[in-house]
Chains A and B, each alone.
Chain A
Amino acid sequence: MMERLARRLRPARPGAAALAVAGTPEDTLEAFDVTVHFEGLAAVDGVSISMRNGEVFGLIGPNGAGKTTLVNVLTGFQRPTRGRVVLGGEDVTGLSAHELGRRGLARTFQAVRLFRDMPVIENLEAAAVGTGLGRREAARRASRILAWMRFAHRADDWADTLPYGEERRVGIGRALAMAPRFVLLDEPAAGLSDAECDELMGLIAEIPHVFGCGVLLIEHNMRVIMGACHRIHVIESGRTVAEGSPEEIQVNPDVLRAYLGTRSGDARG
C-alpha cells in the first residue's frame, strides 16, 4: 500500500536517477610544486601530482611524510605557501573548503568525523545537499549509495552507535554522496580487520566506474594500496620519492629505503 502511495506521489522519471556521476573521462586533478611551511618547517616541499578521472591514485609514505597536509591543500583546508592546485584545468588554489566541495572535491578524514547525532542516512543526505541537491534527490542518492555499500539496513541508526569499521564505511559513503569528481580517502583502512580491509578494497576498486570519478588513496596498509591502486606516488619528509605502478613501486630501491627504512624485504608488508 505504501509502495503504491509513494509511486503516486513521485511519478516515475526514468533517467533522472543513476548513482551520482559527475566527472568526465578527461577530468584531472593536479598539484604543481605544492609547498607548505609550518613556521619554517616544510611539511610538503615541492610536490607535484597529476591524477585522472577513473583511476585510483595511491599516496603513500611514512608517518609525518606530509600526505594529509597535501590532501588538506588539495581540499582547501590548508593554503599552500607556494604552488598551485588545478582542477579540470581551472586554478582553484586558495579556494575555501566548501567551494572546492561544491566543485567536486570530496574527502574523508582520518578521524572519520561523522555527523554523530544524526542518522546514517542523514550523514549522506547532508553531503548531497551540501553540493546543491534538493532534499528528495539527496534522499534518493543517499539510499542508493547505502544500498551499493550493502549498508541500507543501518540507514536509520544513529551515527554514534556504529562500530569503528562501519563508521569508516559511512565516512566514505558521505564523501561519495557529493557525487565528487575526485574523492580523497585519508587512511580508510586504519584500524580495520583483514576481512573488513578486503571488503573495503572491493568498494574502493569499484568507486571509479560506479561514480565516474577519480580516487586518491592515502593508506599504510600495503595490501589495500597494492590491491586497489593503478598508480602510486611516494613521498617522504614532504618530498616526492617515486611514482609508478604498484609493480614498479614494490621494487623501487628508493622507495624501499625511504618507506621501510633499514628493514629490507617485501613491500607487501
Chain B
Amino acid sequence: MAGPDTEGGPAGLVWRLPVVGLRAFWTPIVLSLGVLVIVLAVWASGDTVLALAVTAALIRAVMVIGLYIFIGNSGVLAFGHATFMMVGAYGVAWLTLRPFNKSFALQLPEFLAAHQYPLLPSAIAAALLAAIVAFVVGIPIMRLSGIAAAIATLAVLGMFKTFYSNWSEWTLGAATMPGIPIYVDMWIALAWVVVALFVAYIYQRSKYGLALRASREDEFAARAAGINIPRQRLIAFVLSAFFMGIGGVLEAHYLGTIAVKNFWLTITFILLAMLIVGGQRSLSGAIVGVVVISTLIEILNSLEAGMNVGVAVLSVPIGAQELTIAGLMIIILVFRPDGIMGGREVPWPFGKAGRIVRDPGAVESEHDPLRRGLAQRDSAP
C-alpha cells in the first residue's frame, strides 16, 4: 500500500526559502533580551528589595510560559496546572533537604532520607516527576474538549491538594515544610525564563506545535487532516507540566519553604490572569502579561503598605491587588479578548516573510507531474 510519504520522481518547480538564522528565533531572542534589560536595570540600581520582587516575577514567568505551552497552543483552558508546581516543589524538597531536616518529621525511603542530591539534577528530576504525573492524568483528560477538559483539570488539582494535605509522612500534611536550600536569585530565574522561552518557541514551531495549533483552530478539519488531537494535546500537556514543575522548584528554592495551600486557587488565578491579559495565543503575550501584572502587583503592594509621596502617605486597602487584577482582566476580556498582544508574536522588523524561489534542488523534466499539469493547463483553451 502506498503511504503518503512516497514522494518520488524528479523534483518540481518552486519552494519557499526556509527561515534561517537570527530570524528563525527572533521571538524568543527579543523576549529574552527584553527580560534581560529589566533584570540588568534592577541589578544596576542595587535595590535588593526590588531584586527579590523581580525574581518572584521571573519565576512566575516560567510558570506562565509553562501554562502557555498547553493553553496557548491547544486552546483548551486548564485550571489545574498548580498541581504540577506542587509536585515539582515537593519533589525537589525530598531531594535537596538536608538529611538532618528530613529526619525530623518526614518518613521517606532510604534513598531520599539519607542523601542530599545536587541542585540542578534535582530540579530536573522534580520537574520530570511533574511531567510524569501530567502524562498519567492527561491520558484520560486530553480526550475531553472545551469546558469539560477545564473542569477535569481543576478536579485533578483538587485531588492532588487533598492527597498532599493528608500524606503527612512525605509532605508534613497541611503544615509548612521549611529548610529547603535557598539559592534562586534573579540570574538563575532569568536563565530558566530563557530556557523556557526557547523550548516553548521551538515546540510551537515544530510539527507537534503546528498540529496542535491547527486543532485549536478547528477540531474537525484537524482530524480530517490526520491529526490525532488527544495525542498532540498530551505532548503539550506534559511539556507544559515540566515547566510548571520547574516553576514550583524555583519557588521552593526562592522562599525556602513550601506549603500545599500555596499551590491552590490564588496562584492559579494570577497565572491565568497574566496569560489572558498578555494574550494567551502567543509567547510574546505570555511575557507581556507577566510584566504588566507583576508591575501592577508591585505598585499595589507598596500602596497597600502605604507609599510615601512627599507630603502624604498614599495607601489602599488590603485586597485591592486581587480586585485590580480581576478588574483589568475583565476590561481586557471585554475590549481586547485576544489580550494585549492580540495573539501575535513580536514582528520581525526587516521586511516580509520567506520568498518563493525557484527550487534549488529541482531537476526540470518532462515527467514532472507539476510541470505536466501546468503545461496542460496553459495549453487549454
A residues apposed to B, CB below 8 Å = 2-3, 5-7, 9-24, 27, 75, 77, 88, 90, 96-98, 101-102, 104, 106-107, 109, 113-118, 121-123, 125-127, 129-144, 146-148, 152-153, 155-156, 174-175, 178-181, 202, 206, 209-212
Contact = CB atoms under 8 A, between A and B. Distances in A.
Nearest to A23: B2
B223 A140 contact: no
B14 A144 contact: yes
Nearest to A112: B221
A133 B10 contact: no
B317 interface: no
A75 B369 contact: no
A18 B369 contact: yes
A6 B356 CA distance: 12
B9 interface: yes
Given A16-B361, A144-B12, A209-B369, A133 B5 contact: yes
Contacts of A3: 17, 357, 360
A115 B226 contact: no
A103 B143 CA distance: 22
B1 interface: yes
Interface of B: 1-18, 20, 205-207, 210-211, 213-214, 216-218, 220-229, 281, 343, 352-357, 359-363, 368-370, 372-374, 376-377, 380
A147 B4 contact: no
Contacts of A75: 224
Contacts of B362: 14, 17
A111 to B, nearest CB: 9
Contacts of B373: 19, 148, 206, 209-210
A139 B11 contact: no
Given A6-B18, A143-B356, A155-B356, A126 B214 contact: yes
B221 A115 contact: yes
Given A97-B223, A97-B224, A210-B369, A148 B359 contact: no
Nearest to B213: A118
A126 B3 CA distance: 17
A203 B357 CA distance: 22
Q: Which 7 A-B pairs have the closest CB atoms?
A: A101-B226, A115-B217, A130-B226, A126-B214, A210-B373, A130-B225, A12-B361
Given A98-B223, A116-B217, A155-B356, A17 B15 contact: yes
Nearest to B372: A209
A17 B4 contact: no
B363 A14 contact: yes
A114 B20 contact: no
Contacts of A155: 16, 353-354, 356
Given A15-B8, A109-B220, A148-B373, A178 B343 contact: no
A139 B2 contact: no
A50 to B, nearest CB: 18
B227 A126 contact: yes
Contact of B377 (A10, A136, A202): A202
Nearest to A207: B373
A241 B355 CA distance: 50
13 contacts: A2-B355, A10-B18, A12-B361, A19-B373, A101-B226, A104-B4, A118-B213, A125-B210, A126-B211, A127-B226, A130-B226, A155-B16, A202-B380
Interface residue SS majority, chain B: loop
Contact of B225 (A14, A126, A148): A126
A118 B75 CA distance: 13
B357 A212 contact: no
A250 B242 CA distance: 63
A73 B211 CA distance: 24
A67 B374 CA distance: 31
A206 B377 contact: yes
Nearest to A115: B217
Contact of B369 (A21, A121, A139, A156): A21
Contacts of B223: 77, 96-98, 101
A6 B360 contact: yes
A16 B353 CA distance: 25
Contacts of B7: 16-21, 137, 141, 179
A18 B367 CA distance: 10
A180 B225 CA distance: 10
Contacts of B226: 98, 101-102, 127, 130-132, 178
A64 B16 CA distance: 43
Nearest to B230: A98
B16 A22 contact: no
B230 to A, nearest CB: 10
B355 to A, nearest CB: 8
A202 B229 CA distance: 34
A113 B219 CA distance: 9
Given A12-B361, A114-B217, 20 more contacts: A9-B20, A12-B360, A15-B8, A15-B11, A17-B362, A18-B12, A18-B369, A101-B223, A104-B4, A118-B217, A123-B214, A126-B222, A138-B207, A140-B16, A143-B14, A153-B356, A202-B377, A210-B370, A210-B373, A212-B369
A199 to B, nearest CB: 10
Nearest to A180: B4
Nearest to B19: A139
A217 B356 CA distance: 31
Contacts of B355: 2
Nearest to A75: B224
Nearest to B360: A7
B225 A127 contact: yes
Contacts of A181: 2, 4
A148 B223 CA distance: 25
B27 to A, nearest CB: 15
B193 to A, nearest CB: 25
A116 B5 CA distance: 27
A209 B372 CA distance: 9
